[in-house]
Structure 1
Amino acid sequence: MLTAEAGAAANTVAAYRSDLMLAAAALDGPLGEADADALTALAGQWAGLARSTVARKAAALRRFYGFLADEGLRGDDPGKALPRPGAARRLPKVLSHGDVDRLFAAIADRVAGPHPLPGDLRLAALIELLYGSGLRATELVSLPRNAVAPDRPFLILRGKGGRERLVPISDRARAAVAAWRTHVATDRLWLFPSGRTHLSRIRLYQLVKALAAEAGIPPDRVSPHVLRHAFATHLLEGGADLRALQAMLGHADIATTEIYTHVDASRLVELVNTRHPLVDAGRTRS
């Protein structure tokens, strides 16, 4: 149902499966037959977990029991007994412009010279697309070989939830991809192939961490998703429109995009102090 009707991504389906299997292992009886009391007891075992984790586990179970009720497989819906703590929205980790400059300086050192290693060219293409276009890790590693065209400054991407969006691709990113693609056989399906399929998210994570360490940045501050955050926050700092950023990031709800506005607080203060009409009035009186 999650795949066929809700259009959930493979990672979402895997997360739901994991939460349901863990719940089934924790219950005395079959998961599909649990009553409200059993679910209340199960929720009690989550007392030491983060609020966001409890919210995710409860949401997966509510979806499961709602499905059983909709399909007529149960006459009741015990999922209503599960807690609704609400997930605390954490501010994203932010890299400074200096941090990003150090990452790209480390890459530039690697690809300098007449014959850079293919692995370094691949890393350059990966980082350019992560920071330059704000791609999600799964979207990036699963790009088809010819997704990025040398004469087209954008690509059409099917992202989270099966939603399509237009993603701008910078000249730098297209150049980096073109340099890397010469090392990808024309019969390969993926832009970043690995074995019989494409580069894994875990391997991408490892490559980014290693690059951060090489650039003198604590690896725990950098990940593929942090580079996506940097793309968003730095665009907002530069004056990007929030709705345009929502479209580029592929957020279904603009409330998700609004979390990035925290980084713009200093810019807002500056605007008030320099552009407000009363500022000019005060100067006139003085």
Structure 2
Amino acid sequence: MTAVMKIATAALPNQVQLQCPNAAEALAIYEDCQWYFKHGIKLEPGSTVVDVGAHVGIFTSIAAELCQRKMTAYVFEPIPQLASLLTQNMAQLEPVNVQIYNCALGSETGTAEFAFHPETPMLSSAFPDETDREYLDLRETLIRNSSGPDVPERLQALSKIPRFLRGFLLDQTLKKHFHHERLSCSVDRLDQIPEMQSIPRIDLLKINAEKSEELIFQGLEQLWSVIQQVVVEVHDFDGRLDRLRNHLTSQGFAHVDCDQMDILKGSRVYLLYATRSSAA
């Protein structure tokens, strides 16, 4: 049985109001998106952006404002419930030219089974069998980062709870957010999307695909020459961070940098930034 996803309205700091499943989640994603514009990543009016893992369009709305709404965007979201909200939200960004694709991206075309988290859709991924490990990793990261002298703002409330109670209280919250159901989504290679095959330039490729990033890299081999900047969330299992960093360097990106959000310090989740010399 398909879970019912709640609908809320999030008023973002950039004055855009978006329909979303969870306003608190949307504001957290907005805050996370500020990290994407570090290490030389920039946009200008007239840019073309590819947003992989678009959720309900938060990153694209930020990019549109940076480009004074003079932008072309290709946005990809595999979860149908999110893609429906994404379509509604992108209509608000006129005159931005937005093309929406309700599919996942990977190394080959087909279908994939996703874990869909209706309470917190940003946790949804194409690796449903790894949900338990994700739960434990996130729990450990939040407990660790809620202690010490430099607690991230989003963990301040947790830091005020006695340490011996934090695990218990986190479990009560995380169990709700990690409730999920399985659903089947279509998968395409990015370089096989018809519009991509004739695109002259991609000013920024943003990827946040919950552990699918390496498969997505494998599915865009024909596009590297037109991509000017990349920002990708990397889940560093089995040396993936180094592999993707080396791959970006091999594709001619002059500047490849790595960073980690404050709230995720010490976890396996990183951001890789790549720019060519003309874009830095």
TM range (shorter): under 0.3
Greater relative contact order (Cα < 8 A, sep 6+): 2
Q: Calculate the TM-score normalised by the size of structure 1.
A: 0.25
Considering only CA atoms, is the larger Rg found in Structure 1 or Structure 2? 1
More strand by share: 2
